[in-house]
Amino acid sequence: MTNEEIKLQELAGKENPFRIPSGYFEHFDERLLARLPQPAEQPRKTIRLMPRLWRYAAAVVFVAGVGAAMLWNRNTAQPTATTAELAQEEYYNDALDYIMVGNMEIAEYLTEAD
């Protein structure tokens, strides 16, 4: 204990200066509720933010929009290859045909070399 606490105990003593009347907490909640104002009971109103018809209309518009986007995407023209690209592709195909040699052809070349 510090000196201040010791001085306080000497001045006030060890008795608890705060006392509660007997039976104070027995009916405390009832007395507290009696003092509070009672709220007025009002019927609740339900407000529909979006009527059922609007929901169906929104669903139809959404489906139509998705369908139109898919149809528009499908009908867009694919870019056509230019003649230079076609010539290059044909060159690659010819080169690949020339380079491709099957196993049987390799065996024939090896047997002819002997």
Would residue 56 count as lying in a domain?
yes
Would residue 102 count as lying in a domain?
yes
pLDDT digits (tens, 9 = 90+) for 46-99: 777 767 788 889 999 999 999 998 888 776 656 677 888 888 888 877 877 777
The least confident of 25-29, 33-37, 41-45, 74-78 is 74-78
CA-to-CA distance for 32 and 29, rounded, in angstroms? 5
Would residue 75 count as lying in a domain?
yes
CA-to-CA distance for 44 and 75, rounded, in angstroms? 54
Would residue 16 count as lying in a domain?
no
Task: Report yes or no: 35 and 27 within 8 Å, Cβ to Cβ.
Answer: no
pLDDT over 90 percentage in the chain: 10
Q: How many independent structural domains does the chain possess?
A: 1
Buried b (16+ CB within 10 A) or exposed e, 8-40: eeeeeeeeeeeeeeeeeeeeeeeeeeeeeeeee
Would residue 77 count as lying in a domain?
yes
Q: Residue 62 sits in which domain range?
A: 52-107
Would residue 45 count as lying in a domain?
no
